[in-house]
Structure 1
Amino acid sequence: MLNKTVLIQSTPTADLEKLTWNWKGHAIRYTVQGAGRPLLLVHGFGAAIGHWRKNIPVLAAAGYQVYAIDLLGFGGSDKPALSYTVELWQEQLKDFWTEHIQEPTVLVGNSIGGLLCLMVLANHPEVAAGGVLLNCAGGLNHRPDELNLPLRLMMGTFTKVVSSNLVGPFLFNRIRQKSRLRRTLQQVYCDRTAITDELIELIYTPSCDPGAQRVFASVLTAPPGPTPAELLPKVQVPLLVIWGEADPWTPIAGATIYKQHAESAPLTFIPIPNTGHCPHDENPNAVNPAILEWLATL
């Protein structure tokens, strides 16, 4: 049994081995570390496998084989001119599991990655041994009925401008500036010391790749996909839901659906105080032990 004190104090940032998988003619970046029951880690919008750098070594050292993958269009994966949807990424995750893992796996996802994990758990039960959702997104984008009328019109205008061949690249180049990335992260990280140059770089560098602006525009104009409320009744495996309580993007008030689901299904809900949208990166000293303690109960 692992020493909990060591886990709480440990936030290793060792370099991750970068491997490549060919999927439908596209190069997909992934990493794997450790041996044992498989875990598959799925990042959120604009992130990459490096966002799990404080988690992968800890989970691997605890006796798990930890995979992390860059979704098509993000990180070190190719960025082709496609229509990006949650269904496309669900297919990518399912195919990766079929080719590389092939045994029941615990899927771990943050934000949009959490929604993708929930989709795989619901629609491909043969893949799943369990799921860990960290500040799970309610959709790839806001649904029109979720926004009041002025904001709905503003978002509609913004998505048209982002998709414009003339203005879109200019706007994207401003959004991806390191100073703006830092200000954006300051909205969703309570602990600003966690917003390191390393973190900024792992988000900024892929944004310089050819095709990154087209991916950004495609994602912002894509359908939102299924809701967690639609997916949860289909999930047949235990879930751990971790929520940074101070998240302004996916407020904890929206986690009511998970608390209701826990009344009739094996679901553990853990709020993390003074923590924002990316608890695994901002507060790994709380998240890593919570995941390991839950995994030990499976």
Structure 2
Amino acid sequence: MPSFISKIYQWQGFSCAYRFSSQTGRSPILFIHPVGVGLSGQFWDRCVSYWQSQGATYSFYIPDLLGCGQSDLPHCAYYPEDWAAQLHFLVTSEIRQPVILVVQGALFPVAMELVHFDPQLVRALILSGPPAPALVSENTEPRWQKVRWNLFDSPLGRAFYLYARQKSFLRRFSINQLFAKGEDVDEEWLGMLAAGAADLESRHAVYSFLSGFWRRDYRQKMRDIRQPVLVVMGDQASSISRDGGAESPEERLEFYAKTFPNVQGEVIPGRNVLPYESTPAFVEACQAFLCAQAL
């Protein structure tokens, strides 16, 4: 496991947790973890541990988003702007210099909101398995998002979460939706998810994700970004939403290449959780990109 210092900071009356490993001389890297049953900043531990083993000279910052991990778990609906505001405060008050953003999967909108809100705070973006184009190319009716939230935020939703945090469900879902190889769904992964979901109050962040508060048309915000962007896709990438269709990884990369002004893409072995299932290949892609950008 990576060697980190753990800290707590206060934001809007909430305690927010992050871990960091400080170096000098290069831009710090801020990791945005995915949201799902049991997920938190620990998602990045395997990736950062490998990166450090390669003699990395970057400072690494791994926050727990509000509602996840060691941060407070308030009973509320979370929007991408909320988590972006939390991270903006972290960067301006704790890190205190522009960062390189590394973001997993469907937390892509949080990165978009953060860059849009304060472009000077982000030097580059690395997107691991970002969403299918259909999920970030059209606005979802807010009324239906709230209907879904109200359904989840009920005794029925509580029962669902109790079921979804069982190890048998977590294993099956991971094999069917996240990993390219079933044997890579190991006890370390399942133990992390089970521990992260032990507190039932962690369910509200998951409900917010499942309600689709993040699903909007982000194309204009993408076009406005001038920072260099790396998009890393798995060669077996799939979407957990039927709306995502069945486009190939290359077709999904083409969408991002046409929308971001300054982007490069790479396809590596794996499916939907590349920093965990394909750690060396993912880190090597990141290192090559950052070296080429002199970051």
Does the CA-based 8 Å contact 1:33-1:56 persist in structure 2?
no
Instruction: Give the aligned partner of residue 10 of structure 1.
Output: none
1:259 to 257, 260, 282: 257
Letter paired with 1:136: P
Please show how residues 1-298 of structure 1 align to structure 2 within 5 Å.
13-14=1-2, 16-36=4-24, 37-46=27-36, 47-60=39-52, 61-137=55-131, 161-164=151-154, 166-187=155-176, 188-221=178-211, 223-249=213-239, 252=249, 253-261=251-259, 265-273=261-269, 275-298=270-293
* Structure 2 unpaired stretches of 5+: none
CA 1:161–1:110 in 2, change beyond 3 Å: closer, same or farther?
Answer: same
Percent identity reads 20
C-alpha deviation, 1:222, in angstroms: 5.0
CA distance in 2, matches of 1:210, 1:156: 21
C-alpha deviation, 1:42, in angstroms: 0.5
Instruction: Give the aligned partner of residue 3 of structure 1.
Output: none
C-alpha deviation, 1:209, in angstroms: 1.4
CA 1:228–1:136 in 2, change beyond 3 Å: closer, same or farther?
Answer: farther
CA 1:221–1:143 in 2, change beyond 3 Å: closer, same or farther?
Answer: farther
> How many residues are treated as equivalent by the alignment?
275
C-alpha deviation, 1:64, in angstroms: 0.3
Instruction: Give the aligned partner of residue 4 of structure 1.
Output: none
CA 1:16–1:102 in 2, change beyond 3 Å: closer, same or farther?
Answer: closer
CA distance in 1, matches of 2:146, 2:80: 20
CA distance in 2, matches of 1:134, 1:256: 15
C-alpha deviation, 1:144, in angstroms: 8.8
CA 1:39–1:234 in 2, change beyond 3 Å: closer, same or farther?
Answer: same
SS of residue matched to 2:255: helix
Letter paired with 2:59: Q
CA 1:174–1:158 in 2, change beyond 3 Å: closer, same or farther?
Answer: farther
CA distance in 2, matches of 1:239, 1:192: 30
CA 1:227–1:143 in 2, change beyond 3 Å: closer, same or farther?
Answer: closer
Letter paired with 2:43: H
Instruction: Give the aligned partner of residue 6 of structure 1.
Output: none
SS of residue matched to 2:102: strand
CA 1:203–1:18 in 2, change beyond 3 Å: closer, same or farther?
Answer: farther
CA 1:58–1:214 in 2, change beyond 3 Å: closer, same or farther?
Answer: closer
SS of residue matched to 1:296: helix
Letter paired with 1:35: Q
Q: Tell me the TM-score normalised to structure 2 length.
A: 0.83
* Structure 1 unpaired stretches of 5+: 1-12, 147-152
SS of residue matched to 1:260: helix
CA distance in 2, matches of 1:48, 1:120: 19
CA distance in 2, matches of 1:130, 1:32: 19
Out of 121-130 and 221-230, give the one that drifted further: 221-230
CA 1:199–1:157 in 2, change beyond 3 Å: closer, same or farther?
Answer: same
Does the CA-based 8 Å contact 2:136-2:218 persist in structure 1?
no
Q: CA-atom RMSD, angstroms?
A: 2.8
CA distance in 2, matches of 1:175, 1:90: 27
